[in-house]
């Protein structure tokens, strides 16, 4: 293609980049601290960059709690080069988002021969969606989405490679697809499933006979390179699967996660669903092939619980895949060809299309209003968080060997720099594999602070019924509460904006800084509640002496 013919595409690409940058500056709040769960990976990346290995607590055994493995490693490399943790994490996410927007545009233009308006609309839909909201919250979601989109683009190229060619598809393309799929799996473990589903889609489109070289190459790459990584991580961490899987994947199938995943898929990709419906008119095989990675990937989340799924980030990678698939299924939307219309009719159709396009862009932006269940405004996904301020307060005592046992393993451990026991077990191998926290395990550490989140307070005491204690979270916090009270801990604070939803802070009474810490925590005036942004009440004053 001549450079003259490329000029419109280059101009549109620059316009997409400028639009994304404007949207980021105007509508995305980058002043917020990390979301609670995102801070966990930041802790791992910082420790790795500092040379301690992939560890939760410095000096302890490695823990595979950071499931975004390649994202963590990339962030650590940038930190090593001089960036701050926040700059590294957000920089990777922002660059990935921009590249994915451009990939969606160019993929539609070159693979599907889409006209400029449809390709531009696809890129803009992604640009103003939830991608930058993940970046602002310090998640690596766009990095995974970029890898998934690259893999799917290469897969689409393999589908287009004519099966009847005697020499078969180009080996370089096949190898690139396999390696890209491997990278997707290294970023997040479910990427292996997503890449495998893409192979099934290629198999459906090309047939088994014309897909043998693709399947063999893909299998060889995953068996040799992926297998080498798998054996390394098993040896390094001591277990074959990421630590959170043992916690989140237990107790059978998670049908609530399954339903939420399908709903998230439909909500994020609703406009493209119309094209898939239209695809069943005359492109049944192609439609089914394109649906395999999209619907199949959404369905696999029946295997794990839905916790930590901020803004449907687990399903977000399906958005660019759908945007790279919808145009040919809609038959190119031939009504855009207005040659048969009069000048007046062309004006009406153009105005209608502009209005519909604006509505689609608004719909994509509107998904930013559903990032958390307690979100108050579309512009700000979450409010000021007292856990962030508490982490900053405790940072004064960094390096003294103090330990906090906490259910809130994000902001407080990251900003305080304290050794931390993640009592829920996502970042603790013993708890994840044992199934629950034990008194004996707490005794090994004798934590200076015990902190937990639950739905009771001195004004609304917990009901210790058999049914309540059978609930894993409630039983865990009651164990922590009883351990603290049995071992002479002082109840410094019970923060909350209602007595039905609180953060408990117990401080051990027999170490050098205990009295000062008790005073600082109990008199903390600006402990904001993360769901409302309001100053919390310290309900500890109502506790029985």
Do 394 and 364 lie in one domain? The reply is no
Q: Do the domain assignments include residue 377?
A: no
Q: Do the domain assignments include residue 116?
A: yes
The structure's pTM equals 0.93
Torsion of CA 257, 263, 265, 266, to 10 degrees: 170
Torsion of CA 327, 332, 337, 340, to 10 degrees: -150
Q: How far from 278 is each of 91, 282, 311, 364, CA to CA, in Å? A: 39, 8, 28, 21
Q: What was the pLDDT predicted at 330?
A: 86
Look up the domain containing 57 and give its range.
Answer: 3-370
Q: Do the domain assignments include residue 380?
A: no
Do 358 and 472 lie in one domain? The reply is no
Give yes or no for residue 334 having a pLDDT over 60. Answer: no
Q: Do the domain assignments include residue 375?
A: no
Q: Do the domain assignments include residue 46?
A: yes
Looking at the structure of the chain, the number of domains it has is 2
Do 234 and 365 lie in one domain? The reply is yes
Q: What was the pLDDT predicted at 112?
A: 92
Do 7 and 55 lie in one domain? The reply is yes
Q: 337 falls in which pLDDT band (50, 70, 90)?
A: low
Of all residues in the chain, what percent carry a pLDDT higher than 90? 84
Do 18 and 148 lie in one domain? The reply is yes
Q: Do the domain assignments include residue 296?
A: yes
Do 18 and 115 lie in one domain? The reply is yes
Do 365 and 395 lie in one domain? The reply is no
Do 297 and 442 lie in one domain? The reply is no
Do 432 and 473 lie in one domain? The reply is yes
Q: Do the domain assignments include residue 196?
A: yes
Largest CA-CA distance found in the chain, in angstroms, rounded? 87
pLDDT tens track for 393-447: 999 999 999 999 999 999 999 999 999 999 999 999 999 998 899 999 999 999 9
The mean pLDDT value of the chain amounts to 93
Count CB-CB contacts under 10 A for residue 155: 27
Q: Do the domain assignments include residue 379?
A: no
Distance CA 6, CA 241 (A): 46
pLDDT tens track for 492-530: 999 999 999 999 999 999 999 999 999 999 999 999 999
């Amino acid at each position: 293609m001549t450079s003259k013919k490329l000029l419109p595409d280059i101009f549109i690409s620059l316009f997409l980049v400028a639009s994304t940058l404007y949207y980021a500056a105007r509508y995305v709040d980058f002043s917020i601290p990390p979301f609670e769960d995102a801070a966990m990976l930041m802790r791992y990346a910082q420790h790795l960059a500092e040379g301690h290995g992939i560890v939760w607590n410095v000096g302890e055994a490695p823990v595979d709690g950071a499931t975004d493995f390649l994202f963590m490693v990339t962030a650590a490399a940038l930190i090593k080069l001089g960036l701050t943790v926040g700059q590294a994490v957000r920089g990777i996410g922002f660059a990935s988002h921009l590249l994915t927007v451009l990939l969606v545009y160019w993929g539609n233009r070159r693979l599907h021969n889409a006209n400029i308006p449809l390709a531009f609309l696809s890129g803009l839909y992604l640009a103003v969606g939830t991608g930058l909201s993940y970046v602002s919250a310090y998640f690596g979601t766009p990095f995974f989405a970029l890898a998934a989109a690259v893999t799917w683009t290469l897969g689409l190229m393999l589908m287009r490679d004519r099966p009847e060619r005697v020499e078969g598809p180009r080996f370089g393309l096949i190898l690139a697809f396999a390696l890209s799929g491997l990278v997707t799996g290294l970023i997040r473990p479910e990427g292996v499933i997503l890449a495998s589903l893409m192979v099934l889609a290629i198999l459906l489109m090309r047939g088994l006979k014309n897909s043998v070289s693709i399947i063999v190459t893909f299998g060889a790459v995953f068996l040799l390179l992926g297998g080498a990584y798998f054996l390394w991580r098993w040896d390094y961490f001591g277990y074959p699967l990421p630590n959170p899987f043992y916690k989140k994947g237990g107790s059978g199938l998670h049908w609530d996660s399954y339903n939420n995943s399908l709903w998230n898929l439909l909500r994020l990709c609703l406009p493209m669903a119309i094209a898939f419906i239209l695809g069943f008119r005359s492109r049944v095989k192609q439609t089914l092939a394109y649906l395999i990675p999209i619907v199949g990937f959404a369905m696999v989340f029946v295997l794990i619980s839905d916790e930590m799924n901020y803004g449907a980030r687990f399903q977000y990678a399906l958005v660019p895949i759908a945007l790279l698939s919808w145009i040919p299924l809609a038959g190119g939307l031939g009504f855009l060809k207005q040659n048969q219309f009069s000048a007046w009719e062309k004006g009406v159709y153009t105005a209608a299309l502009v209005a519909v396009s604006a509505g689609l862009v608004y719909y994509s932006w509107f998904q930013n209003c559903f990032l958390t269940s307690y979100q108050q405004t579309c512009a700000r996904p979450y409010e000021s968080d007292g856990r962030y301020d508490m982490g900053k307060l405790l940072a004064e005592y960094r390096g003294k060997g103090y330990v906090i046992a906490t259910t809130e393993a994000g902001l407080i451990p990251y900003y305080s720099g304290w050794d931390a026991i993640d009592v829920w077990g996502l970042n603790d191998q013993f708890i994840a594999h044992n199934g629950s926290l034990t008194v004996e395990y707490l005794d090994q550490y004798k934590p200076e602070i015990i902190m937990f989140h639950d739905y009771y307070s001195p004004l609304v005491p917990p009901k210790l019924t058999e049914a309540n204690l059978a609930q894993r979270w409630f039983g865990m916090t009651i164990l922590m509460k009883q351990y603290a009270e049995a071992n002479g801990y002082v109840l410094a604070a019970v923060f909350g904006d209602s007595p039905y939803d609180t953060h408990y802070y117990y401080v051990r009474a027999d170490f050098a800084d205990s009295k000062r810490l008790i005073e600082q925590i109990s008199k903390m005036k600006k402990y904001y509640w993360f769901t409302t942004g309001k100053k919390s009440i310290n309900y500890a004053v109502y506790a029985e002496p």
